[in-house]
Each structure stands twice: as structure tokens, then as C-alpha cells.
Structure 1
């Protein structure tokens, strides 16, 4: 309970200590003085780029088989798995004359909108053929919004020596099962195939 004696006396004010008042500003600068003597941790980006970790989620890459055919079969599972709705895929049917992938279908139109992508990696997990993976490239800034919508040509890995430019017949196997198992067929393309 409070004391109801009615006194309105204030507690006695403490006398200022002149030494404490003199030292207080210097104590406040203590942090500043300590950081002045430590080595700076500033990174000199972009002149000095630090390497990323191996499992870093960077720009997407559409992979190819060893003969140059695309691994993407146009199933659209990556687009369905994307929570940001950043992927657009249109599948089309392969023919014997024009074959872009070893399966029945291929991704005729493939786009990733990096204005929407959150780099979560769910599209990578959904891909049944490991056609879509993520690289360590992280510099995607641009001055145009249109340039941040990557098309299939920008996402496909470049052709390595020994690869043919699709469309062409399957070279690694006579059947789809042999192709995926890596069992060679009749071999390199003949001059009539090109």
C-alpha cells in the first residue's frame, strides 16, 4: 500500500561527479576507437569476387545429353512446382525427322522470369530427367525488365565438341532405353544425316 501521509517531498538529487562527466564522452567513443584499429572486412565487389559455395542456387541451366539432344521432355512439372509462377513451358511432340530430345516430347518454348523467381530450387527437384539444374552464376541484374525473362536459347548449355545441333536422330542408342542407359548404337552421324 502507498503511504498516505501527504508529503510531497522529492528525493534528494545526487550531486554530479565532475570526473564521471569528463570520462563519459570518451567511454562512448571506445567502440569507435576499437573498430578503427581492426582490419576492415569490406569486400571489393565487383573487382574481387568471392567464390560461391558448391550448392549455391544461382541461374538455371537446361542441360543436354552427350550427343547434343536436350534433356527437357516438355513435361511442365517444373512450371507446376514453381511457387512464384516464374516458369513457362510449352511442350511439343518429337518426330523421327526432327528430334530435339530422346523422349516423345520436348520443351518447344521454355522461359524463366527472373523478376518473379525466388531461387527456391523446387523446379529442380520436380524435374524427372535432371534437365534443369542451377548454376553458381548470381549476377542477373539488368536495366531492362524484358531482358530478365530468359528464353530457352539463353538457358541451354552450349554445345560441347562432339555434340550435334538438334534436331537430329538419337545417336547413343537404338531405343530410348538404350539411349538413357548410354549404350552406343551404330555410332557417329553419317554424312547423309547432316
Structure 2
């Protein structure tokens, strides 16, 4: 009985010392935590991040307003309103018959499943590696077409503008258009003189 009491007393005495020993040993281990946001780990190659609406090499939009992405979305996060291109004035947003006049993605609902990407017939919608889209305002998490459109690259002219002369819609998807032609640049300068994007693209 006395031995039991003695063993219990010693274990109670050295228990805190054992606990401190674990803490002390842990202090010298390498930290496994990534110091985000100072240090950002690269994402996987096929990471599902923020969406992007792509353009053709001359600047026309790939989205033809078919709304298949909205139909495929299981979370009802996508709103698309298509409209017809105006051939009479030569103002085209896409090489197709229609284009996406309104395009919105509600990131309060989006589950980043990628089904909208699979449904898109023109590869207009893809997903980037960008994941920093948190906000403290719910309204700012509904991204509009202007926010989702890919930035203009070299050789592109912002839509609307005519198609490349002599080309049909299928020629765009066959890769026959490499950049905006001088005629397209002149048309954009004449019709969008006050647009800083057009000024930069055509200069």
C-alpha cells in the first residue's frame, strides 16, 4: 500500500516535467506551416481557381452566348444572357452568330467543380490558378463579364469590331487567325477613339 502511494507521488511529481520535455523538444523541430500570405505555395497544374473568359487572337470573344455553362452548373452560380451580333454595322463581339451580352458568376455559390468548363463548346470558359477571391462584401463576389474577360494580349483589339476579312467562324477555331489585322485596328481607332484600351492596343 505504501509502495503504491510512493509510486503515485513520483508519477505526479514528474508528469509536468515530461510534458515540458515534449514542448522543449518540439521547439527545435522544423516548422511545417507555410507563412501565408507572405509565402505562397504553387498550385497544382490543373487547379480549379477563378474562371476566365478567353479571347481569339484578334480580340474577339470566344463566348457565343449558348448558355450551356449555366445549364451545366449544379449550384446555379452562372448567369448568361446572349444577344445577336450586329452584322449591319460590323460590330461583332464574337465570330459566332451570338455573343454573351451579360455574363456573371456568383462565387458565393460556385463550388469550383469545373462542369461549366466541360460544357463549353468553344473553350471560351477556363479556370485559372487564382484562388484569392475572398471579400467582406457579398456583392463584390458576383463577378461580371468585364472582370472575367482575359486581358488583352499583343496583337489584340478590344471588341466590338469586324471579323478578319475573308474569314468565317470556323476559321477562327481552326487557328487561321493569328492577330488583329490593320483594317481591324483602323476600324477600332475610328469607332472607339476615347477608349484607353483601344488606344493602347492600336498604338
TM-score, with normalisation over the residues of structure 1? 0.83
Which structure 2 residues correspond to residues 24-173 of structure 1 after superposition, within 5 A? Answer: 24-96=15-87, 97-171=90-164
Query: What secondary structure, in the 3-state scheme, does the structure 2 residue paired with 1:27 have?
Result: helix
CA displacement at 1:172 relative to structure 2: 7.4
The equivalent residue for 2:191 is: none
Unpaired segments ≥5 residues, structure 1: 1-11
Alignment partners' CA distance in 1, 2:165 and 2:56: 9
Q: 1:189 to 1:43 in 2, by over 3 A?
A: same
Quick check: which one's helix share is greater? Answer: 2
Deviations 1:134-179, CA, capped at 9 Å, x for gaps: 1111111222111111100000011112111111121275222222
Larger Rg: 1
Q: 1:137 to 1:27 in 2, by over 3 A?
A: same
Q: 1:154 to 1:19 in 2, by over 3 A?
A: same
Q: 1:159 to 1:172 in 2, by over 3 A?
A: farther
* Residues paired across the two proteins, number: 182
Segment drifting more, 97-106 vs 20-29: 20-29
Alignment partners' CA distance in 2, 1:184 and 1:113: 33
RMSD, matched Cα: 2.4
Deviations 1:98-144, CA, capped at 9 Å, x for gaps: 21111111100000011111111111111111111111111112221
Alignment partners' CA distance in 2, 1:56 and 1:183: 30
